[in-house]
Structure 1
Amino acid sequence: MSIIINYRTMTLPDNIEGLIQAQNEQDSTRFSQYFTANATVSDEGASYSGRAEIEQWIQQATEKYQMQTKPIDYQQSDTSAVLTVEVTGTFPGSPIVLHYHLGLEDTLIRSLKITG
Structure 2
Amino acid sequence: MPIALDSLPGTISGFLAAHDTHDIAAELAHFTPDATVVDDGSTHTGIDAIETWLNRTTSAFTYTTTPTAAERTGDRQYTVTQHVEGDFPGGTVDLHYRFTLRDALIEHLIIEP
Range of TM-score over shorter length: 0.7 to 0.9
Q: Deviations over 1:17-52 (max 9, x none)?
A: 211111121111211111100000011111101111
Work out which of the residue numbers 82, 88, 98 in structure 1 matches 2:85.
88
Could you tell me which residue of structure 1 aligns to residue 56 of structure 2?
60
- How big is the shift at 1:55? 1.4
- TM-score normalized with structure 2 length: 0.87
Kept after mapping to 1: 8 A contact 2:12/2:106: no
Q: Aligned with 2:5: secondary structure?
A: strand
Alignment of 1:20-59 (within 5 A): 20-59=16-55
Q: Deviations over 1:4-29 (max 9, x none)?
A: xxxxx631332122111111211112
Work out which of the residue numbers 51, 70, 76 in structure 2 matches 1:79.
76
- How big is the shift at 1:113? 0.8
Give the share of equivalent positions with the same residue, in percent.
33
Q: Deviations over 1:44-73 (max 9, x none)?
A: 111101111111111210111122211111
Could you tell me which residue of structure 1 aligns to residue 98 of structure 2?
101
Q: Aligned with 1:31: secondary structure?
A: helix
Change (3 A) 1:81 1:10: closer
Structure 2: where are the runs of 5+ without partners? Answer: none
Higher relative contact order (CA 8 A, sep 6+): 2
Kept after mapping to 2: 8 A contact 1:33/1:51: no
RMSD over aligned Cα, in angstroms?
1.3
Runs of 4+ with deviation above 6 angstroms: none
